[in-house]
Amino acid sequence: MKVQAVIIVACVAIAVGQDVVIYDATSQPKCTLINRASTNDCRWKAGLDMADQIIEKGRIIAYRIQWFNGSWSTWFGPGLNDLDIKFNPNYATCAVPLKTNSMRRMWSYFYDHTHEFIIYIRTPVIYVEDAKIKKRRRNEVCTALESDRYMNTHQSN
């Protein structure tokens, strides 16, 4: 009976993975460094919020701009140190309206400057995979228990 209990505990520990996370960690955001020429996309000039999410489908966590003389700016963090000293003086037609006298971020220069940024894109959580992992773990435990029962019933004395 003690042997059976030890085998069950060992099988459960192996199935759970001891100190290994049993959940799918692939849903964590993926960070990528992107270097790009000017975009000619006027939406970068449109205000302070969410241009990165609208245009790039992710969150830019840092960026810098290559000025026309070839030098690079310092790194900017959205909402931290990236208010442009210029503003949008006139209303303009764009996919996102550029309001008169609206403030903008330094990434407004993405319109006509080479730039690079670090972006993270959150992949959607796939609950089906979580269910498959949990089901597989449960099946491994059940299989271990069944084989233990088989060994006990067919064991010669």
The answer to whether position 16 is within a domain reads: no
What's the pLDDT band for 17 if we cut at 50, 70, 90? low
CA distance 63 to 144: 52
The answer to whether position 101 is within a domain reads: yes
The answer to whether position 112 is within a domain reads: yes
3-class DSSP assignment, residue 4: helix
CA distance 92 to 99: 7
Q: Which of 56, 53, 51, 76 is nearest to 66 (CA)?
A: 76
Q: Note whether 61 and 120 are within 8 A (CB).
A: yes
The answer to whether position 78 is within a domain reads: yes
The answer to whether position 127 is within a domain reads: no
The answer to whether position 71 is within a domain reads: yes
pTM: 0.61
Q: Note whether 88 and 10 are within 8 A (CB).
A: no
The answer to whether position 25 is within a domain reads: no
92-95: long-range pairs with CB below 8 Å, 24+: 92/42, 92/45, 94/42, 94/43, 94/45, 94/46, 95/42, 95/43
Section 110-139 average pLDDT? 69
Q: Which of 47, 79, 38 is nearest to 61 (CA)?
A: 79
Q: Is the pLDDT of residue 89 over 90?
A: no
3-class DSSP assignment, residue 76: strand
Domain extent for 108 = 30-121
* Total domains present in the chain: 1
Section 137-143 average pLDDT? 46
Question: Amino acid identity, residue 11?
Answer: C
Section 105-119 average pLDDT? 95
The answer to whether position 132 is within a domain reads: no
3-class DSSP assignment, residue 16: helix
Section 91-117 average pLDDT? 89
| pLDDT given for residue 128 in this prediction | 52
